[in-house]
Structure 1
């Protein structure tokens, strides 16, 4: 299967610019996800590749075949791109049986009856629904309709599969099952897949690589582990998973570490960094809840950062307890297997457990303000 290559693509609607210099590639057989909040441009990016939108600038290619190149005036119509697409709504014809829904794209391509019937049976068999070919969409569950939509996208052997939030209409439990099934099917078929979602769990579970988008810009591209453990910005850290943000000021650099005085308490913490920071610079320290440990006594190691906090709320969520702790006038989220913690406790984290980002603006401080604890 060929790779997808998007080069310096931009898109405007009237005077509104919705995509800015979008540049990425999807490797052969890769499961690549566009992740971001509503309105960030991920679906517009997908629609430009599918041919449902026309980019204002840039180029799109599948393998060696150019689909769009604005500088060379190349534009391949949607129906000639041979791309499979599954929409959020599934878009199944309600008056047609499942078999006829799958036959529709094959009839457009003038497939003969024997070839059409074979392809339909194979596609439905791949999604485990060959025995339901004579039912109508309203006679199927949401999960089954989702699989029919996927089978219809696969029935004519597309070069690339495009998925626009196909699991968003499923309930939580069924969505978990669908994730595992979809990833297994994509891996078995080896088809290059571009997936759009705003659900971080879907992105982390399904993807080989993820592109995180904000306001029409790709902020970071990397593996799920890279995106989660080494976010490029505070915005990425805030959107992908839970994260605590603490405002502060740089005290001094120590080779590959920076010392930061926290605004909330005046405590100095040490964070590993590969950036040179100037003393006095405003920064935001970010720490994932699971990277924080709650201890009753002073830790033995001097390398650890220690914060004096107080338990505000405790919530039992099955496999763990989630705490909100008071740190000065702001709140910190922590997870722990111990549900007996109360009163004054110490938070501990190592220099490698945190990240430091420039400035005191953006999603980091917004999240901080929303979590402020009143006295």
Structure 2
């Protein structure tokens, strides 16, 4: 399967620019996810690749074939691109059986009858629905309909598979099962896949690489591990997974890291160096699972920061306990396997788990604001 190359892609709707000069290469056989909140431009990017939207500037190529080059006045319509697309709504024809839904794109491509039946059976077998080919969509569950939509996108052997939030209509348990199945199928087929979602957990679980988008720009592109553990901005740290943000000011920096005086309690902690300077106001991002709850009988000997805190409330969610704690006048969240904690506690966090960002860089409003001061 070929790679997808996007260069200087921009898109305007009237006077509003929704994509700002996107440059991106999606590797052959890669599962690549466009992740971001509503309105960030991820679906518009996918629509430009599919040919459903014409970019204002830029070019798009799949392998050695150019689909769009605005400067050269080149634009291949959707039906000439041989791309498979699955929409959020599945878009199945309700009056057609499963087999008839799959036959439609083959009919458009003038595939002969004998080959058509073989392709339909093969596509349905891939998604485990060959035995249901004579059913109508209304006779199937949401998960089965999603598989039919995927089979229809695969039946004519597309060069690239485009998926626009295909799991969002499923309930939580079925969604988790579907993404495991989808990743396995994509890996077996080796098809280059571009996936759009606002679900961070889904993106981390499925992707080879992720592009985090914000306001029409790609803020960071990397592997799931890089995106989660090495977020390029406070906005990425806030959007991808949960994150606490402790406000403070840089006292000094060195090769070993930065020393930051926290606003909430006046304590000095050590962090990674980051792109910060002495005297600068910062927000220190810390993942809830990187905060370790200590007892008075046990203190860290590895140079970790220790913060005094008070437990405000706790929740048991099966696999772990979630605690809300107060550090000085600031609230933080902690995820741990330890039950029944209350009152005054100490928190330990390694400097490498503390990521400082300039406070001039806003945190996304799409996530819970953990910098809210305790009343």
TM-score normalized by the length of structure 1: 0.97
User: Does 1:98 pair with 2:117?
Assistant: no
Q: Alignment partner of 1:315: what SS? A: strand
Conserved 8 A contact 1:331-1:368: no
1:373 corresponding residue in structure 2 = 374
Q: Which aligned segments of 4 or more residues in structure 1 are displaced greater than 6 angstroms? A: none
Q: Equivalents in 1 of 2:116, 2:364: separation in Å? A: 54
Deviation, structure 1 residue 278: 2.5
Deviation, structure 1 residue 361: 4.8
Q: Equivalents in 1 of 2:47, 2:143: separation in Å? A: 24
- Classify 1:256/1:216 alpha carbon distance in 2 versus 1 (closer, same or farther; 3 Å): same
Conserved 8 A contact 1:245-1:367: no
1:284 corresponding residue in structure 2 = 283
CA displacement, residues 3-28 of structure 1 (integer Å, 9 cap, x when unaligned): 00111100000000000111111101
- Classify 1:265/1:116 alpha carbon distance in 2 versus 1 (closer, same or farther; 3 Å): same
1:201 corresponding residue in structure 2 = 201
Deviation, structure 1 residue 69: 0.5
**Aligned residue pairs, count:** 373
2:63 corresponding residue in structure 1 = 63
Q: Equivalents in 1 of 2:336, 2:186: separation in Å? A: 36
- Classify 1:157/1:258 alpha carbon distance in 2 versus 1 (closer, same or farther; 3 Å): same
Conserved 8 A contact 1:284-1:360: no
- Classify 1:251/1:368 alpha carbon distance in 2 versus 1 (closer, same or farther; 3 Å): farther
Deviation, structure 1 residue 360: 4.9
- Classify 1:361/1:220 alpha carbon distance in 2 versus 1 (closer, same or farther; 3 Å): closer
Q: Equivalents in 2 of 1:368, 1:181: separation in Å? A: 34
Conserved 8 A contact 2:234-2:361: no
Conserved 8 A contact 1:5-1:61: yes
- Describe how 1:308-327 pairs up with structure 2 within 5 A: 308-327=308-327
CA displacement, residues 323-346 of structure 1 (integer Å, 9 cap, x when unaligned): 000112210000121112111111
TM-score normalized by the length of structure 2: 0.97
Conserved 8 A contact 1:284-1:364: no
Conserved 8 A contact 1:247-1:360: no
Q: Alignment partner of 2:299: what SS? A: coil
1:46 corresponding residue in structure 2 = 46
Q: Equivalents in 2 of 1:349, 1:364: separation in Å? A: 24
1:347 corresponding residue in structure 2 = 347
Q: Equivalents in 2 of 1:371, 1:248: separation in Å? A: 14
CA displacement, residues 133-153 of structure 1 (integer Å, 9 cap, x when unaligned): 111100000000000000000
Q: Equivalents in 2 of 1:183, 1:204: separation in Å? A: 11
Conserved 8 A contact 1:250-1:260: yes
Deviation, structure 1 residue 180: 0.7
Conserved 8 A contact 1:33-1:195: yes
2:123 corresponding residue in structure 1 = 123
- Describe how 1:241-320 pairs up with structure 2 within 5 A: 241-275=241-275, 277-297=276-296, 299-301=299-301, 303-320=303-320
CA displacement, residues 228-278 of structure 1 (integer Å, 9 cap, x when unaligned): 000000110011100000111000112230000011111111012254x33
Q: Equivalents in 2 of 1:47, 1:77: separation in Å? A: 12
Conserved 8 A contact 2:9-2:57: yes
Q: Alignment partner of 1:363: what SS? A: coil
Return 5+ residue gaps in structure 2 as ranges: none
Deviation, structure 1 residue 91: 0.2
- Describe how 1:213-232 pairs up with structure 2 within 5 A: 213-232=213-232
- Classify 1:112/1:185 alpha carbon distance in 2 versus 1 (closer, same or farther; 3 Å): same
Q: Equivalents in 2 of 1:372, 1:215: separation in Å? A: 28
Conserved 8 A contact 2:163-2:195: yes
Conserved 8 A contact 1:272-1:355: yes
Q: Equivalents in 2 of 1:67, 1:364: separation in Å? A: 34
